[in-house]
Amino acid sequence: MGKITGFLEIDRQERRNKPAADRMRNFNEFVIPLEDRDVERQAARCMDCGIPYCHSGCPVNNQIPDWNDLVYRHEWQEAALDLHSTNNFPEFTGRICPAPCEAACTLNIDDNPVTIKTIECAIVDKAWSEGWVTPQIATTTTGKSVGVVGSGPAGMAAAQQLARAGHEVHLYEKQAKAGGLLRYGIPDFKMEKHLIDRRVQQMEAEGVQFHYGVHVGAETSVADIEARHDAVLLAGGAEHPRDLPIEGRDLEGIHFAMDFLPQQNRRVGQEGIGPVEPILAGGKHVLVIGGGDTGSDCIGTSFRQGALSVTQLEIMPVPPERENKELTWPHWPLKMRTSSSQAEGAHRDFAVMTTRLEGESGRVKLAHCVRVDENFEQLPGSEFTLKADMVLLAMGFVHPVHEGMVTDLGLSLDGRGNVEADTRAYRTSRDKIYTAGDMRRGQSLVVWAIREGRQAAHAIDADLMGHSDLPT
Ligand SMILES: Cc1cc2nc3c(=O)[nH]c(=O)nc-3n(C[C@H](O)[C@H](O)[C@H](O)COP(=O)(O)OP(=O)(O)OC[C@H]3O[C@@H](n4cnc5c(N)ncnc54)[C@H](O)[C@@H]3O)c2cc1C
Ligand code: SF4
């Protein structure tokens, strides 16, 4: 374990953010890493509990107490090896994971969990800067070929694992670059994209062949992909956004978050936005409808583009400031959280329903709202209006896109419209077709996508070879 009395002697110390006034001038990451010696002191706080609840809190089951101990003892390279044994891309999760591990940490009973995410990020960043992350090239080949559709975290994790098992792996992506929502949804200020590029280079050296601009089920038929490979993994995400079918929805200036955010990420990545109308928040009063991660990313992006004001509406009631630990720990608690983007000056309101959007000369100008109770019943007399020159819909995603790949294959869907498969075999209703990530589980988290990609790779390898040595 870390230092036996560490948790009694050392206070929790988190990474700090650059001041809002500085960070809002550009789209760069703004979290300031801790010095190595401070990370080692934080790792010393780990109590190595008899039952490490953080293990099961972490979807990839990172061996957290083990690498905490290694960091405390200055054995960073060994810690990096341990971390990579359960997580293909800890530099992604170390930046953008909501860290359910910390909610599950025993020290969180006292509101002072080990800074697990900070330590994870420090380990992998050091591993890259020291040159410890190298391609792990398979020593034998199996003669089997696997196609993976979708290069988000699920597809990337699966492709990397399958290549390491010796299969020929082809990764098909409809966009110009790899990463899925990591690249085109999550803004650079939360995660810079060169982190994805160097993983792609590592995977190419390991034998994964990336095919960009290939839209399976559109220009490229899914039957063609199916015929080329011994197994196909569908990791196309859950891209069908939830809409707001109210009066005024067809006015100009109302956009889905995922029409707005990718444009900015492409500008930062110097990709060019293509032949579409630019969506920009500069000089506008922006209304974000939806209180989750996507809504926060819309806020931070709008402020950086020069929005006059940003208001975020959430239909759910305001959550409690602090959870009741006896009821929630070690599970992820519902409580008030303020993202770095919200802290940059957004006005937030809860238990609010938008009932109508009003425009002038065809452009949105005003949102009509009403307060609701916990059953979403409107409270009479609570109606109000908000200025809105631009409205961003960030109310989540309903399920994967069905048209094209999913319908062409005639796949069974679950009750929520996701592609049906269990979490052991990851097999769809069609022979040799598998699915993982948001396409299977619905809108979720990067860390869950990595887990499902790894597990699906294990399942595919076992089906192709009769057994699998790949870790899950
Ligand atoms: C704006 C936003 C912010 C988020 N922030 C966070 C966060 O901070 N932390 C967190 O943990 N999670 C976050 N999430 C959720 C997280 O990004 C997703 O859960 C995760 O990326 C899902 O991974 P995936 O690989 O299953 O799918 P995706 O990342 O959606 O990748 C799917 C890929 O498949 C490709 N594709 C789809 N169909 C086809 C086809 N027919 N042919 C070829 N290619 C295809 C797509 O272009 C895409 O590249 C956020 C989501 C959004 C939208
Ligand atoms: S991946 Fe997420 S849950 Fe797992 S250790 Fe890292 S921050 Fe915690």
If pLDDT is split at 50, 70 and 90, which confidence band does 95 have? very high
In this model, does residue 77 exceed pLDDT 80?
yes
pLDDT single digits (tens) 332-361: 999 999 999 999 999 999 999 999 999 999
pLDDT single digits (tens) 312-338: 999 999 999 999 999 999 999 999 999
DSSP 24-44: TTSSS--EEPPPHHHHHHHHT
In this model, does residue 472 exceed pLDDT 90?
no
Q: Is the Cβ–Cβ distance between 446 and 93 less than 8 Å?
A: yes
In this model, does residue 418 exceed pLDDT 70?
yes
If pLDDT is split at 50, 70 and 90, which confidence band does 64 have? very high
If pLDDT is split at 50, 70 and 90, which confidence band does 1 have? low
Question: How far are the Cα atoms of 74, 284, 289, 390 from residue 309, in angstroms, in the given order?
Answer: 47, 7, 14, 11
Q: Read off the pLDDT of each residue in 102-129 and give the average, rounded to a whole number.
A: 97
**Where, residue-wise, is CATH 3.50.50.60 in the chain?**
145-239+399-465, 243-395
Q: Read off the pLDDT of each residue in 432-436 and give the average, rounded to a whole number.
A: 98
399 lines ligand 2 (CB under 6 A): no
Q: Is the Cβ–Cβ distance between 67 and 82 less than 8 Å?
A: yes
Ligand 1: which of 88, 91, 117, 186 to mutate, most ligand atoms within 8 Å of CB? 186
In this model, does residue 2 exceed pLDDT 80?
no
123 lines ligand 2 (CB under 6 A): no
Q: Read off the pLDDT of each residue in 370-379 and give the average, rounded to a whole number.
A: 97
Fold classification of 6-129 is: Fumarate Reductase Iron-sulfur Protein; Chain B, domain 2 (1.10.1060)
CB contact set of 395 (below 8 Å; sequence gap of 6+): 241, 242, 244, 289, 290
Of the ligands numbered here, which is closest to the C-alpha atom of 184? 1
Q: Read off the pLDDT of each residue in 52-60 and give the average, rounded to a whole number.
A: 96
pLDDT single digits (tens) 3-25: 889 999 999 999 999 999 999 99
Q: Which CATH number is correct for 145-239+399-465, 3.40.50.300, 3.30.70.260, 3.30.70.1140, 3.50.50.60?
A: 3.50.50.60
**Where, residue-wise, is CATH 1.10.1060.10 in the chain?**
6-129
Of the ligands numbered here, which is closest to the C-alpha atom of 89? 2
Q: What is the CATH number of domain 243-395?
A: 3.50.50.60
Ligand 2 atom nearest 102 alpha carbon: 8
Cα separation, 334 vs 339, whole angstroms: 14
- Burial letters 256-270, b for 16+ CB under 10 A, else e: bbbebbbbbbbbbbe
What residues are in contact with ligand 1 under a 6 Å CB criterion?
96-97, 149-155, 172-175, 180-182, 185-186, 214-217, 235-237, 258, 261, 293-294, 297, 404-405, 437-439, 444-447, 449
In this model, does residue 149 exceed pLDDT 90?
yes
